[in-house]
């Protein structure tokens, strides 16, 4: 899978941001932001994403829409991979062979819904070999209920 064209190495530390005022709330993040950082790669790229500094609870990462990924790296923990334990590290390699807009998010059963609801998601943009557009915008929408 790796080394076909280019290898892109990315690092996504996980963290928990505690709300500091009445207008802020707790969030679980990739790299400190909600949504997590945009992963922008090109068709033909091999990608390696390293997840570190995990939350106080176990997690995993699913690469939604990425179809050239070994099943052991598709993030459905604890079914296809061991969960990433607090303080743990996991490297996810995959290859992108088609353009499109995809996303990443936790897929640890049974905590994935609460982790996604607290902000753990981000976009993956796979650029085509030849662009047929001049402008693009990435939007990720999320709903929050804050008391
Ligand atoms: Cu998904």
Q: Which domains does the chain have, with CATH numbers?
A: 6-127 (2.60.40.420)
- List the chain residues with pLDDT less than 50: 1-5
User: In this structure, which residues have their CB less than 5 angstroms from ion ligand 1?
Assistant: 64
57 CA distance to ligand 1 middle (Å): 20
DSSP E strand boundaries for the chain: 6-17, 27-30, 39-42, 45-52, 62-64, 90-95, 100-105, 122-127
At 103 the pLDDT is 96
At 5 the pLDDT is 43
Rounded to whole angstroms, the Cα distance separating 108 from 54 reads: 13
pTM for this prediction: 0.84
Per-residue pLDDT of 120-132, as tens digits, reads: 999 999 999 999 9
Rounded to whole angstroms, the Cα distance separating 145 from 147 reads: 7
21 CA distance to ligand 1 middle (Å): 31
61 CA distance to ligand 1 middle (Å): 9
At 96 the pLDDT is 94
63 CA distance to ligand 1 middle (Å): 7
At 8 the pLDDT is 62
146 CA distance to ligand 1 middle (Å): 24
């Amino acid at each position: 899978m790796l080394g076909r064209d280019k290898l892109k190495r990315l690092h996504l530390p996980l963290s928990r941001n505690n709300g500091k005022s009445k207008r802020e709330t707790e969030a679980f993040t990739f790299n400190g932001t909600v949504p997590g950082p945009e992963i922008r790669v090109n068709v033909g790229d091999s990608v390696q994403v390293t997840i570190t500094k995990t939350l106080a609870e176990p997690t995993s990462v699913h690469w939604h829409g990425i179809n050239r990924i070994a099943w052991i790296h598709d993030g459905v923990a604890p079914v296809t991979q061991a969960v990433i334990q607090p303080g743990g590290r996991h490297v996810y390699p995959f290859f992108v062979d088609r353009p499109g807009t995809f996303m990443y998010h936790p897929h640890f059963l049974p905590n994935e819904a609460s982790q996604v609801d607290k902000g753990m998601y981000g976009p993956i943009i796979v650029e085509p070999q030849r662009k047929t557009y001049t402008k693009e915008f990435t939007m990720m929408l999320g709903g929050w209920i804050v008391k």
